[in-house]
Each structure stands twice: as structure tokens, then as C-alpha cells.
Chains A and B, each alone.
Chain A
Amino acid sequence: MNTSEEIISRNIAIIGNPNSGKSTIFNSLTGLRQKVANYPGVTVEKKEGIVKFKDGSLAILIDLPGTYSLTANAPDEKIVKDILLGRKTDIDPFDLIICVVDASNLERNLYLVSQIIDLKLPVIMALNMIDVAEKSGMTINVNKLSEELGILIIPTVGNKHRGIEALKAAANRRANYSKKARQWKLPIVLEEECIELKNLLQIHSWTEAVAFHDAVTLLSSPYYLEEQKDLLPEEIVEHVLQDHNRLNILGMDCQSEIVEARYEWIKSICGSAVIFNRNTGKSLSDRVDNIMTHKFWGFLIFLSIMTIIFQAIFTWALIPMDLISKGFDSLGILITRILPKGELQDLIVNGALSGVSAVVTFLPQILFLFFFIGLLEDTGYMARAAFIMDRLMSKVGLHGKSFIPMLSSFACAIPGIMATRTIENRKDRLVTMLVSPLMSCSARLPIYVLMIAAFIPKKSILGIISLPGITLVSMYLLGLFTALGMAWIFKKTLLKSDTPVFIMELPPYKLPSLKSIVLQMWEKGSLFLKRAGTIILGVSIILWFLSTYPKKENFSPSVQLEQSFVGRIGHFVEPLIRPLGFDWKIGIGLISSMLQREVFVSTMGTIYNVKDSDKGESTISLGQHMKEDIDPVSGHPVFTVLTAICLMVYYVLAMQCMSTIAIMKRETNGWKWPLFQFCYMTALAYCVTLIVYHVGLFLI
């Protein structure tokens, strides 16, 4: 954001329930002037932008994560609570809070509003999707509602850009907190305890508004006291414990009473400010859902949508990917012509350029996937997909929302891992990220194709099922079932937590907004390039160095590779991979394909001196060369059917992808999880391959 020369006068936050259209309002207010970062220490996205007002003044607008209440459970809800309570010292206090409310779902949305009002924060309300509310037969008296709540209300229709200018104008004026005294009252006993506790907290230098919020939370359940025990003065802890004892004897269900009291008040406000016209029967959205979540049609539609997405990232994205890599190839040729032959040329063409090309070729898949994810989320189908798939995912202890990231990982784990952001629970998100790369991505396919074409006999069983085909399918299934099995294991051990609670809103269907989908694609694409791109580029230069040096002149490429650092490492690790049936040549292949799995094929091409003249033919001749290679020590062929199978199994399970590690580092905010993932997958691959090899030897 280039605003250094302009003065940012104000700090504004935007808050609202999930599905309230908060992001659309945020996008309308800021346009492209936005950036995404993480809140320090957590993996919650911090989105901020700049609003430019009519008078030329500017304000920072922070898009807080969507939340239903300030009694936080999930990490992103906790962030919102901490910021609003002023417990995040690294975030400046807000001059204004814009609370986005879904007008068609008023009662539940007002719950959060009432909590914000209680915090005595300067707030205005964007009464969004007012058109949907009117269509469903609600007439909202905005003035009455505004009077009851004591705050300014601007009706908006975010996706049609209605009311945005009015909202902007209102946001530029000095806003105040609701001057109305708190209207909702607890049952007398509880109310008295609450006031008493609030006063006590104030003595301990709490501000009045925060003291009230904390008093309510602490009284609602003894567990909340348990959670915050270490942060509270002893006197408070004692006091709350006594309160709970007393209220318990009275048979008071505090947790329920407190939420109920708030809702009672909200209901009375809605009663006076909203007229519900005669119900017009089932809405269009409900009728659509009768088909979309139907026992038979629902499945069929779901499968078709998933097939299209899969097709798009697996096949259609290959077209731009191919163009990009061809573009880089010709750029390389061009540079070769311009620059004099030598180290520098080699570094640029084979080190830097191939690294950049490795990064950029991922872009189409990422953009395609996020186009579809944006579409599904914007229309409201995403929640239905989770609704349909939840049963299956809950079997391994995951949430229905883990399905899309795992499916996407069949094309590429990078967009898959990036797509896990929709999973609220941190542990479930981590488990999904940890197992997603086990899905056979498109980069493994060239290796499968090479091995199967060369070594699996083209026979068929029962005349219909071909052996090569069944081998390929087996590899995909091996990845899938290992992923599910590992998810189950992680949920039982390392990231032990109950199967995530599935309490999910099913928002009404609506037309998607192309603008917000494109914005999301832009955001994810540039994030990937910036964060993962640098790591991938660095690694590719290191790999280039290792495979180029020490340099010997006038040697054939295969000899040069063999005596390079990579070649030496290949020889060095040979004893380690011997038990898997791999020799040093495969060792070289494994190391050089750390960046991208498919590099294995081209490395083998270099080792076996196969000219990369024509792609199709070279695969066949490379396979032929590999078949004919005889181990000088044992006199047996280096590659057998068993070696080929072992190699494929190894690639199914091993984390041979630097880009995935880079994106894991970015998404988990540290090296701990990517390193763990690398270790567990490599260990798993090693063990399983070892077993397969020895069982294979025994059988043969």
C-alpha cells in the first residue's frame, strides 16, 4: 500500500457473523487497496485495506475474522475477542467498528451486536442484504431499530454496491458508542452477582465495559474460570468460585440464563422494529436445497461438481501450465543465445530460471482451484458440500470441510493446503494439511507413467482389467487410504482432539460476485508467489549448484552428474536405500527430485544419456535403457518389476516436494510442522517400501 505520503487519520474495524456479507462490504470499501498478513504468533489471517473518503482523508480498515459471538472458542474468534477487549497490544484501538449484520437473519446477528454494544465501543451497523430480507417478507423499521439499539444503522446490499457510499460517509463522521443503558437483564440473583463481580473487577483496574463482559463470561460456566484462572487475581478466583457454589445451590443454569436473557431482549426489539409479513411459503433457496441435498440427486450433483473441479485443476490447468513452461523454455534458449557460455549462463538458465518456472507453473492450478472454491463459497454450496460429506470425514475424525482440500490435493497439494483455511479448528486444519500431500498429485503421474510403461506387462485380467491400469489405480488408492489412515492416527495421538463439532450454518443460496472471487484468486496467487516462491527459488539454485559442481570439463552429462555433489550423495546414500532395492542412480533421482517429483524422469534421462529430443519417444527409450541396465556387482538387472513398484510406492508416500514444504511453512507460521511432515512421510515411505520389497522378494 503506497500511502506513505498521505496521512492515515483513522483506524476502523469491520466485524460480523460468518455469511453476513462482511467480506463483500470490505471489498467494496477498499477495492484493491488491501493486503493479507498473519496476526503475530497465530495462523489467523489478518486482512487490512485502505478506505479513501470523499474529503481525501484515509483510514485503515481491518477485516476481523467472522464470528458469532465474543465468547470465543476457535483461534480466530479468540483474536476478535482479544482485539475488541483491548488485549492485543500490537493493534491500535479502533476509532470505529462497522458491524455487518445479515438483515434476513436478524435475531442471531444481533447477538454479536449486543455484545459489542455492551463493550461501549464506537459502532455503526451495516444492515446488509436488506433486499433478501424484504423478499422473504420482512419489513424492517430501520429508525426504530436504530433507536432501540442506540447506534447508527445504514441499510446496504453489499453485492449490488447499494448503501456503500452512505456507509462510507457515516464512517467518516465521528461515531459514538451506544449511550443507552443496558436493556437486557438477567434473573435478579444472577444480575446481582454479576454487578458485584463487575465492581470487584473494576477495583482491580478493569475498565467498566470489559469488567462487565468478563463478569458475564466468568459467571456463565465454571470452566471459563478454569481457563483464565492463571490470569486472574486470587481474590477474583475465590469470589467467582463462591458465586458458582451459591448459584449452583439455587439450581441456576447460568450459561443458559445469560444467553437466553440476551436473546429475550433481541426478540423484543425485533418484535417492535420488524414486521413479518405473511409467510410466502418455501423460499427459492429452500426449494433448490430440496434437490441439492436430496438423497439421490444431491449425490449426483455433488459428484458432478467435484468431477468438474477435479477435471479443471487436473486437465484444463495443464494447458496454461504447459504454455508457461514452454515460455520459460524459449526464454532459456534466448538467454543461452545472448549470454556467453559459462557459469553465469548455466546458473541463470538451469538454476534461477528453472526455479522461477517451477514456481510459476503452479499458478494456474492455484488460480483454477480458488476460482471454484470462491464460486462454491459465494453461492453457499460449500456448506452443503460439507453437509453431504461430513458423515464420511467424521469416520476418520475430521470435519466435512476437510473434503475439498483433500480432493484438491489429487491435483496438487499446494492449493489443497491453502484451501484448509476454511477449517476453523486449528488441530483439524493441521491434520488435513499433514495428510493432504499423500494424495497422488499430478507431479507423480510422469513417474507412474514411466515405470508402468517400462515394467508392468501389458496383460489384462479377465480380458477387461488391464494390469498397467490397475497398477495406476492402486497407486492412487494407496495414497488415498494412507491419507485417511494417517488422519485417523494423528487425531488419536499427536493432535488428539474430539471429532470436530459440526454446528454449521447453511446460508441461503445466492448469486456469486465475480469481483470477490477474482479478488480471492489474486490474493492467493500473489501470496503463493511471494511467500513460497522465494523458498522454492532458493532451493532450486542450491540443487543446481549441487548437481553442477565440482565441474569436470569434457565429460558427458551423465558422468558429470555422477561425480557432482548430488552424484556423490547418491553414492553415499546407496547403502541406506539398498534395502529398498534402489541403487545410487535412483538415489540421484530421489535427491534431485526434491524440488519437484517429476524431475526424477528428466534426471533419469540425463543419467541414461537419453536425448530429450521428443518427449513421447524419450519416455519409451528411457524405459528401454533402464530395463537393459545391469548391476555390475550382482549381475542382475538394476530395474525389475519389483523395483518399479517399490519406486512408485516410495513416491506415493514420500514428501518429495519442496514447494509443499514452503507452503506449509507459510501456512503454519514456522518450520516445526513442515519438518515434522517431511520426516513422517519419508519414514513412512521408507518403511512401507522396505516391506513391499522384501515381501516381493519372498514371493518371487
Chain B
Amino acid sequence: MVIMGYKTLDRFQPGETGTIDLIQTPNYKVRQRLLEMGLTKGSRLEVIRFAPMGDPIEITVRGYHLSLRIEEAKTITLLSAAG
């Protein structure tokens, strides 16, 4: 059983969806970029797949596909919507 709740993006499974709660990274430029790419609080995203070597990760957000490394995914906390 998948427990609904808060977890970071890197712990999501392909096909799982969630809504963004917050991004915690000391790098303000990376944070700005993530926000401006549409990863704002409350936006919904779905994990599509992990790259063949396990990193980076591909997601969809605001209707488009975006890839980011596990390192950045760890800084994004979401509320999982899978049940």
C-alpha cells in the first residue's frame, strides 16, 4: 500500500503523481530556475521515468516534460497523490 503523505521527489515511483509543497536548496539560482520552470507550490507533477542509469529523472509539469538530477529532486518536497 502506498502511503499518502509528504516525501521528496527522488522517492517517487514512475507513474506516481504529487503536488509540490516546497523547494529547499541553498542555491538560490537553482531554486529560481526550478520555480520559473513551473515547479511552484501547489503545481502537480508526475514522474515519468528514471534515465537508464538511474539518474536523472523525467517528470511532467504544466503539460511539458522536464528532466532533473536526483540531487535536485531531493530538494523538492511533494504531497503524494497516489493511493
Chain B residue numbers with a CB within 8 Å of A507 are: 64-65
Say how far A266's CB is from chain B's closest CB, in angstroms. 9
- Determine whether B38 belongs to the interface, using a CB cutoff of 8 Å to chain A: yes
* Smallest CB gap from A102: residue in B: B64
Q: Which of B34, B62, B66 contacts A504 (CB 8 A)?
A: B66
Q: In the bound complex, do residue A260 and residue B69 qualify as a contact, i.e. CB atoms below 8 Å apart? A: no
* Smallest CB gap from B36: residue in A: A69
Mark contacts of B61-73 with chain A using CB atoms, 8 A cut-off: 1 yes-contact digit, 0 otherwise. Answer: 0111111110010
Q: In the bound complex, do residue A293 and residue B54 qualify as a contact, i.e. CB atoms below 8 Å apart? A: no
Say how far B7's CB is from chain A's closest CB, in angstroms. 19
Say how far B41's CB is from chain A's closest CB, in angstroms. 6
Known: A107-B62, A293-B49, A293-B51. A390 touches B30 (CB 8 A): no
- Determine whether A68 belongs to the interface, using a CB cutoff of 8 Å to chain B: yes
Chain A residue numbers with a CB within 8 Å of B53 are: 388, 391-392
* Smallest CB gap from A19: residue in B: B64
Give Cα distance in the complex from A104 to B64, angstroms: 8
Say how far B10's CB is from chain A's closest CB, in angstroms. 14
Mark contacts of A213-225 with chain B using CB atoms, 8 A cut-off: 1 yes-contact digit, 0 otherwise. Answer: 0000000110110
Q: In the bound complex, do residue B23 and residue A71 qualify as a contact, i.e. CB atoms below 8 Å apart? A: no
Chain B residue numbers with a CB within 8 Å of A299 are: 52
Q: In the bound complex, do residue A388 and residue B52 qualify as a contact, i.e. CB atoms below 8 Å apart? A: yes
Please report the total number of B residues contacting A with Cβ < 8 Å: 36
Chain A residue numbers with a CB within 8 Å of B64 are: 104-105, 108, 505, 507
Give Cα distance in the complex from A253 to B27, angstroms: 14
Q: In the bound complex, do residue B72 and residue A221 qualify as a contact, i.e. CB atoms below 8 Å apart? A: no
- Determine whether B4 belongs to the interface, using a CB cutoff of 8 Å to chain A: no
On A, residues with C-beta under 8 Å from B are 68-69, 71, 73, 104-108, 111, 220-221, 223-224, 253, 255-256, 259-260, 263, 286, 289, 293-296, 298-299, 383, 387-388, 390-392, 394, 498, 501-508
Say how far B23's CB is from chain A's closest CB, in angstroms. 7
Give Cα distance in the complex from A296 to B52, angstroms: 8
Q: In the bound complex, do residue B65 and residue A108 qualify as a contact, i.e. CB atoms below 8 Å apart? A: no
Give Cα distance in the complex from A294 to B29, angstroms: 31
Give Cα distance in the complex from A508 to B65, angstroms: 8
Chain B residue numbers with a CB within 8 Å of A501 are: 27, 29-30, 33, 69, 72
Chain B residue numbers with a CB within 8 Å of A111 are: 36, 38
Q: In the bound complex, do residue B67 and residue A256 qualify as a contact, i.e. CB atoms below 8 Å apart? A: no
Give Cα distance in the complex from A392 to B54, angstroms: 11
Q: In the bound complex, do residue B32 and residue A73 qualify as a contact, i.e. CB atoms below 8 Å apart? A: yes
- Residue contacts A-B, CB under 8 angstroms, 20 given: A68-B37, A69-B36, A73-B33, A104-B64, A107-B38, A220-B32, A223-B28, A255-B32, A256-B40, A259-B40, A260-B40, A293-B49, A391-B51, A391-B55, A392-B53, A501-B30, A501-B69, A503-B37, A506-B65, A507-B64
* Smallest CB gap from A69: residue in B: B36
- Determine whether B31 belongs to the interface, using a CB cutoff of 8 Å to chain A: yes
- Determine whether B82 belongs to the interface, using a CB cutoff of 8 Å to chain A: no
Known: A108-B64, A255-B28, A502-B67. A390 touches B55 (CB 8 A): yes
Q: Which of A253, A391, A503 contacts B30 (CB 8 A)?
A: A503
Say how far A561's CB is from chain B's closest CB, in angstroms. 53
Chain A residue numbers with a CB within 8 Å of B65 are: 289, 505-508
Known: A108-B62, A221-B32, A390-B56. A263 touches B40 (CB 8 A): yes
Q: Which of B28, B41, B66 contacts A260 (CB 8 A)?
A: B41
Chain A residue numbers with a CB within 8 Å of B56 are: 387, 390-391, 502, 504
Q: In the bound complex, do residue A390 and residue B51 qualify as a contact, i.e. CB atoms below 8 Å apart? A: yes
- Determine whether B58 belongs to the interface, using a CB cutoff of 8 Å to chain A: yes
Nearest 10 pairs of A and B residues by beta carbon? A391-B53, A506-B65, A259-B35, A223-B28, A107-B62, A260-B40, A105-B64, A69-B36, A221-B28, A502-B69
10 more A-B contacts (CB under 8 A) besides A253-B22, A259-B35? A107-B63, A255-B31, A255-B35, A256-B41, A259-B36, A260-B40, A263-B38, A391-B53, A503-B66, A505-B37
